[in-house]
Amino acid sequence: MRKRWLLTLIAAVPAAAAILTLESCGGVGGPTGPGGGGGGGTSSTFLALLSPAQQAATYVGVAKCAECHSTDSAKVHGGAKLASYKGSVANPKLSIIDQWKQTMHYQKGVTCENCHGPGSLHVADPTNKDKVLTYAHDFADATQAPSNPEGITSPTVCAQCHGPTVDQWKFAKHSLLLTTPVDEAITNPATYGRASRCIACHSGLFRTQIYEEGDINAISDADISKIASNTLHKVPYVATCTTCHDAHSVTGNLTASGQEAQLYHPVANFDPTNVGPGQTPDTFTHFNQICAQCHNGRGTDPGDAKLNTSTARPGMHYSNQYNMLMGVGAVDNGNKGEVTHGSTAGQCSQCHMAGGNHSFVVSYEGCAPCHSIPVAAAKVDTVQAQTLNRLLQLRADLSSWSQAILHDPDLWDYTSFITALGKTPPNQSLIPIGVKRARYNYYFIVNCGDYGVHNYKYVDNLLTIAENNIPGHAQAQGKDYNGLTTAQKKAIIEADRAKSKNDPGVE
């Protein structure tokens, strides 16, 4: 099935992971009621999230919420405290209300109803989800379905106070949805939801509702399918604010500048073991780094034994940025080089979120104090140009070997890519281990998508190893890329990256 990007709202470009600093309200306005907070009158976009019934509800104030949702609550429902009485991820021994009292939200007067909507009908009928803004779900009374069914994880909720930040997010790829893995989790939840955990990084709703706030082992395959369906039809984002931030709790996972941003996970992790060779989906999708929990190669294994058995497509997912950053997961002969960028306090966020920017477009301001902006820009241009040219030469050398030995320039590649060309792949026993090492390193670099910037010394080593592993050090004759523009060169490489995504049309 061809993958499709759904554009949502104004969406346009790149990715990493969100780090929202909770400061003062400065957005489009939010609901107010007893307890204050928000930022003015109720906005129409927020109102659209509420069911028609809840739009007619009245505010009840924090004290009323605390009757059921605080540690001291004596109120019971059906003989037991309400399920949502449970504590937060940050501190399961404290209730949500008690955790909230430690946050910037509490200090700024942002209360339960500023995010969940007016609560009078919820108080009267607490088990009826149609009457409170919660996770996206199917309304028991279809007439009560809101005009915007995204639910509590909608960025509209946060935009009431954090409007400029949400506007930045709209231009990030986190605001898009790659629908194929979500479709697959709907139709085959046991495989794509539970076993491979694809949905954990392709659905912001699933990441929040199950990975951060729930337990995948406690839900059924039908539940996984339903959440995937809600992602596709109601909350179509790879990641929203609540995917990375715990709205109720101070977590102690500080930004690189030392700010409390209520992040579920740290911005840096200097031990890449749990995203290395042989790790399971449960392990690498739970990696304890806010960006790398998804931006890792999913258990890359560059060993010869694996290279001889994994011949259909590259053995790393096209999200191997953290592996590259830390110098792990490629055929490197035990030499990962100097992990310079990976040793910074903010790791990914150092460059992709300079100044807290949530578009995740790299800013050279993040290169300070090690480099001035002009020096950083010049270094990036040089590194990318050198890497691009060497990748093209490596590709040409592989094709040259393939033509000389197999009489076709395309048969060095992985079998699924050859089949996609309408050709018959050779028996993989005919492909020397040196070629398998070289093509693995080629795609490891290509799939990272940065052309050497994350870890240039590692890339330099991988290319040298790949070049030296091609039998006879085959050199392509007559290949001259000097006449091509940088854009034309990148188009060749990006076409191979798109093959890895199984989507020739997606950047």
Q: Are residues 478 and 334 in the same domain?
A: yes
Helix (H) or strand (E) holding 5: strand 5-6
Question: Is 22 domain-assigned?
Answer: no
Measured CA to CA in angstroms, residue 186 lies from 179, 190, 203, 275, 323 at distances of 11, 10, 12, 26, 29
Which pLDDT score, from 0 to 100, does residue 158 have? 97
Q: Are residues 322 and 450 in the same domain?
A: yes
Question: Is 430 domain-assigned?
Answer: yes
Q: Are residues 218 and 345 in the same domain?
A: no
Q: Are residues 493 and 412 in the same domain?
A: yes
Q: What is the pTM of this model?
A: 0.87
Question: Is 102 domain-assigned?
Answer: no
For 45-103, what is the HEC assignment? HHHCCCCHHHHCCCCCCHHHHHHHHCCCCCCCECCECCHHHCECCCCCCCEHHHHHCCC
Tens of pLDDT, residue by residue, the chain (507 residues) = 434 444 333 333 333 334 444 444 444 334 433 333 334 456 889 999 999 999 999 999 999 999 998 876 544 333 333 444 444 555 666 788 999 999 999 999 999 999 999 999 999 999 999 999 999 988 999 899 999 999 999 999 999 999 999 999 999 999 999 999 999 999 999 999 999 999 999 999 999 999 998 888 899 999 999 999 999 999 999 999 999 999 999 999 999 999 999 999 999 999 999 999 889 999 999 999 999 999 999 989 999 999 999 999 999 998 999 999 999 999 999 987 778 999 999 999 999 998 899 999 998 988 888 899 999 999 999 999 999 999 999 999 999 999 999 999 999 999 999 999 999 999 999 999 999 999 999 999 999 999 999 999 999 999 999 999 999 766 665 566 778 899 999 999 999 999 887 643 333
Last residue of a domain, one of 236, 251, 280: 236
DSSP-based helix, strand, coil % in the chain, nearest 5: 45, 5, 50
Last residue of a domain, one of 197, 214, 236: 236
Q: Are residues 183 and 306 in the same domain?
A: no
Q: Are residues 328 and 230 in the same domain?
A: no
Domains identified in the chain, total number: 2
Domain residue limits at 352: 300-507
Question: Is 398 domain-assigned?
Answer: yes
Last residue of a domain, one of 221, 236, 251: 236
Question: Angle at Cα 96 formed by Cα 93 and Cα 97, nearest 5°?
Answer: 115
> 120 has which bridge partners?
none
Q: Are residues 182 and 320 in the same domain?
A: no
Which pLDDT score, from 0 to 100, does residue 194 have? 94
Q: Are residues 211 and 315 in the same domain?
A: no
- The Cα–Cα gap between 297 and 350 comes to 20
Q: What's the one-letter identity of residue 481? A: Y
437 touches 469 (CB < 8 A): yes
DSSP 135-192: B----SSGGG--SSTTBTT-HHHHHHHHHHHHHHHTTSGGGSEEHHHHHHHHH-HIII
Question: Is 353 domain-assigned?
Answer: yes
Q: Are residues 215 and 356 in the same domain?
A: no
Which pLDDT score, from 0 to 100, does residue 308 have? 97
Which pLDDT score, from 0 to 100, does residue 29 have? 38
Question: Is 109 domain-assigned?
Answer: no
Which pLDDT score, from 0 to 100, does residue 258 have? 93
Q: Are residues 319 and 218 in the same domain?
A: no
Q: Are residues 312 and 229 in the same domain?
A: no
Which pLDDT score, from 0 to 100, does residue 482 have? 77
* Number of other residues whose CB lies within 10 A of the CB of residue 404: 12
Which pLDDT score, from 0 to 100, does residue 215 have? 84
Alpha helices in 328-371 (DSSP H): 348-352
Which pLDDT score, from 0 to 100, does residue 84 have? 43
Which pLDDT score, from 0 to 100, does residue 1 have? 41
Which pLDDT score, from 0 to 100, does residue 477 have? 58
Question: Is 112 domain-assigned?
Answer: no
Q: Are residues 187 and 320 in the same domain?
A: no
Q: Tokens 């449970």, residue?
A: 86
Question: Is 314 domain-assigned?
Answer: yes
